[in-house]
Structure 1
Amino acid sequence: MMKLSTWVSIILIVSLYKPQISTGVSVSEFPKQFLEFAKKDEIFNWMVGIRRKIHENPELGYEEIETSKLIRQELDILGVSYEYPIAVTGVVGFIGSGEPPFVALRADMDALPMQEMVEWEHTSKVPGKMHACGHDGHVTMLLGAARILKTHSHLLKGTVVLVFQPAEEGGGGAKVVVDSGSLKNVKAIFGLHVAPEKPLGQAFSRSGTILAASGFFEAVITGKGGHAAIPQRSIDPILAASNVVVSLQHLVSREADPLDSQVVTVGMFHGGGAFNVIPDSVTIGGTFRAFSKESFMKLKQRIEEVIVGQATVNRCNATVEFSTKAKPFFPATINHESLHKFFQDVAANVLGVNNVKEMPPLMGAEDFSFYQEVIPGYFYFIGMNNGKNENIPLLHSPYFQLNEDVLPYGAAMQASLAATYLSQSQHLDRRDEL
């Protein structure tokens, strides 16, 4: 039997061991090389061109036909193999040995049903559709990461899986990708999102819950229509719906723990078409958010009870529908605890230790959470504010503008996370054998 002192010595040697890649460059050094590569004029201009093509031709969820075609053309040029279609319009590419371990990088492809109000040379050519959430940039950065990784494929100690995913904006495309089985061998997955208000070249994230669970609801409140001058002969659904909206706001202010962040917002109210007519029905709709599954499900229950109850008080009937297959509930986005220190170390090597920041959780939602339910996953934000504009349009604004200077940072970050993860996975396997 080996002495305790011998075991201690072995553990100390292993813990101090820093894995080296085959070229003799340390794992902590090649992320810097990746960023330098991504900043080269040739690579940067190539990414800018791709991003502008996507931005000019925005496509909604599960309609990303031309976006998918462009992605496949670029992967063909790079010599990257892929599977298509995945989740209707999605593409899943592969770089590396084709053998385990497998690590995934994800980018969402869809645009929003909004009219772009930004006047520039590459504005949206499709009326009523716009890349107002930076997904054109996300796709471009993942293609940039693919070019970095393909160029440096001799560094890869396994396989990088590139997930170009449709329908993040409410369509739950991530769940369809998961259900396709395309990621069954993946050990970890990383995703990013641009942050317009954060400084350029800085990364922001946290361990644990970073984004909320999200759901939608729609209710039809039915009364009895009639002449607005004779309200006693009608049953007014507008009054009932108004009381419903006010009562729903009490769910958070009066029923939720103040330390347990929750949101209920009514964003849609449709009823009537004339100033002197009480309509037969009113339709309202909205969203609800919470950080815990328990709070989320409690909100869902109480939303239905309040809508039906308030409608009854006002002599109306109400039917309530929640998220459907087309718009599923999104779970909370919860970063895997074991990946947090890994992310911080890699981001520090790419961006500098002072440019890696902790952030509080946000009430926004992301379907990246569907990956995290089955694979250890990590989601982070990358800043793109160059400080030239004090009033920066935020995400989902018709005036949103993506600062293209962020593209090399996102591409290098994604490539570095994947390559470093594969290298360290091999090292961890050797340590387990000891």
Structure 2
Amino acid sequence: MNIANWVLLVVTLLFVRFSDGSLSSDGFSEIPKKFLDFAKRQEVVDWMVGVRRKIHENPELGYEEFETSKLIRQELDKMGVKHKYPVAVTGVVGFIGTGEPPFVAVRADMDALPMQEMVEWEHKSKVPGKMHACGHDAHVTMLLGAAKILQEHREDLKGTVVLVFQPAEEGGGGAKKIIDAGALDNVKAIFGLHVSPDIPVGQVASRPGPLLAGSGFFEAVITGKGGHAAIPQHSIDPILAASNVIVSLQHLISREADPLDSQVVTVAKFQGGGAFNVIPDSVTIGGTFRAFSKESFMQLKQRIEEVIIGQAAVQRCSTTVKFQGDGKPFFPPTVNDKDLHEHFQIVARDMIGSQKVSIMQPLMGSEDFSFYQEAMPGYFYFLGMKNETLGKLESVHSPYFTVNEDALPYGSALHASLALRFLLDFQPKISSSVGKQHDEL
């Protein structure tokens, strides 16, 4: 074979490898670092910081995120990213890529919390009694940052990335409304993150399997017969009954739950009476319960109701038990897909190095990202913000919570890299018949 033919053969083989996506996938390890470099460009950082601070100054509660949604749509329009609105009241769903299968989604939550910000700084919340105390302003910003990265590299996408800007994560079950709206019917996988003040900036942590607990709320009104505290024999004391209920509820964990199957029952509400010498007619108690499997969660729910009714009856009281409230759904456990865990590990290590990617213990907190995981494979992880030189960061849901904006480029680049790599890896699994269906979202 002469030199000319040999060169022609090599070029032909390279073309074949590029055309079926395999070379792009094999050579992907440098892409996450390139995406991170892109996200760290000063003009990109300045833009993200500006967006995040604008959202932070104007917090909106669940299903009220109209101005946040408007800002998101304006930024997507500037990038030339197609989107749907409204989805689930205030949600926005964007699309980058071919518009055809496979579809992979990346999600950010938009809502703030009903609390007064106590941090005095230039971009403090302008809305009394409302604050982004859980980092959702950063989450939205990082997904917009990922959109900018992906739009710049849209010619490399072998499918479609779906950008999910979701309302009402804080108890409102916005993820369930997104699913119920059919917005993600053909999506093959979904990724999400949460900022963490306990993990160093530039590092990530997660785990396969159960990551966060399923959670629910209960409230019970225990009714007796009021009267004078000096003659309790003429009354039926609901305070005594409620006290016995609370102690018995703790026995569900210490004596009925498997010690290796972590569960929690906490009574955090106790209201009854207003005088030192009057036994009230009724007492209201309420709290939360959590577990890492749906089976344990439903068993715990059943036993909570039985214990409250039974223990109240022992003290001659009647009771009504309600779960949740205002139509809010139970949050299922957040369970990470094991294949997506391997995918995440590869991408994150390529970007920041294996020493900065850790396996964490499960947490009893909950996340409505779990609703997506019931409908499709999903993966949720935590992104570090801690920087010792800047001082201690307060925990989420604190009025003193702050965001280390140095984390923004990492979240944006990880979002983009996870989505791009998933589409490349998914290619060999797509049959020609699926490609001809032209499925749409």
Answer whether TM exceeds 0.5 for this pair: yes
Q: Which residue does 2:105 correspond to in 1?
A: 104
Q: 346-355 vs 265-274, which deviates more?
A: 265-274
Once the two structures are superposed, the pairs formed by residues 76-115 of structure 1 within 5 Å of their partners are 76-115=77-116
Q: How does 1:148-187 map to 2 (within 5 A)?
A: 148-187=149-188
State the distance in 2 between where 1:428 and 1:31 align: 23
**2:122 and 2:231 mapped to 1: Cα distance?**
56
Give the 5 Å matches for 1:189-228. 189-228=190-229
CA deviation profile, 1:214-273 (whole Å, cap 9, x unmatched): 111111111122233333322222222122112111110121111110000111122223
Deviation sequence 1:30-67 (CA, Å, 0-9, x none): 11111011111111111111111111111111111111
- Which residue does 2:12 correspond to in 1? none
How far is the alpha carbon of 1:427 from its aligned partner? Answer: 3.9
Q: Is the 8 A contact 2:21 2:424 kept in 1?
A: no
Give the match for residue 7 of structure 1.
Answer: none
State the 1:170 CA deviation. 1.1
Residue number in structure 2 paired with 1:261: 262
Structure 2 gap segments, 5+ residues each: 1-16, 435-441
With 221-230 and 242-251 compared, the bigger mean Cα shift is at: 221-230
Measured in 2, the distance between the counterparts of 1:403 and 1:271 equals: 43
Identify the residue that residue 425 of structure 1 maps to in structure 2.
426
Identity %: 71
Normalising by structure 2, what TM-score?
A: 0.90
Report the equivalent of 1:270. Answer: 271
Q: Is the 8 A contact 2:96 2:160 kept in 1?
A: yes
Residues 19 and 27 in structure 1, CA contact (< 8 A), matched pair in contact too: no
Distance 2:30 2:325 in 1: 47
Q: Where does residue 55 of structure 1 map in the other structure?
A: 56
Q: Does 1:19 align with 2:19?
A: no
**1:119 and 2:134 equivalent?**
no
| Aligned equivalents of 1:335, 1:247: Cα separation in 2 | 33
Match of residue 14 from structure 2: none
Instruction: Say if 1:172 and 1:326, in contact at 8 Å, map to a contact too.
Output: no
Please, which runs of 5 or more residues in structure 1 have no aligned partner?
Answer: 1-13
- State yes or no: 1:251 paired with 2:259: no
Residue 254 of structure 2 aligns with an amino acid whose one-letter code is S
| 1:390 Cα deviation from its structure 2 partner | 6.0
Is 1:385 equivalent to 2:386 in the alignment? yes
Give distance in 2, aligned partners of 1:192 and 1:401.
17
Letter in 1 for 2:288: T
- Residue 430 (structure 1) shift: 8.1
| Alpha-carbon spacing, 1:74–1:376, altered in 2? closer, same or farther (3 Å) | same
Deviation track 1:97-116 (CA, whole Å, cap 9, x = no partner) reads 11111100000111112222
Match of 2:291 in 1: 290
Confirm or deny: 8 A CA contact 2:386 2:392 kept in the other structure: no
Offset at residue 308 of structure 1 (A):
0.8
| Deviation at residue 75 of structure 1 after TM alignment | 0.9
Q: 2:418 and 2:242 mapped to 1: Cα distance? A: 49
Find runs of 4+ consecutive structure 1 residues off by over 4 angstroms: 430-433
Q: Which residue of 2 aligns with 1:68?
A: 69
Letter in 1 for 2:154: S
Whole-angstrom CA distance in 1 between matches of 2:428 and 2:148: 25
In structure 1, distance between residues paired with 2:22 and 2:28 = 7
SS in 1 for 2:375: coil
Question: For residues 216 and 165 of structure 1, what CA distance do their matches in structure 2 show?
Answer: 22
Query: Structure 1's 157 and 166: CA in aligned 2 closer, same or farther, altered over 3 A?
Result: same
Matched residue, 2:315 = 314
1:73-119 CA-partner distances (Å, limit 9, x unpaired): 11111111111111111110001111111100000111112222212
Shift of 1:428: 4.1
Structure 2 counterpart of 1:4? none
For 1:110, the aligned partner's letter is: D
Indicate the RMSD between aligned Cα atoms, in angstroms: 2.1
The aligned residue for residue 367 of structure 2 is 366
Q: Distance in 2 between matches of 1:54 and 1:400?
A: 15
**Distance apart, 1:347 and its partner CA:** 0.6
Q: TM-score, normalised by structure 1?
A: 0.92
Q: How far is the alpha carbon of 1:388 from its aligned partner?
A: 2.8
- Between the two proteins, the alignment pairs up a number of residues equal to 416
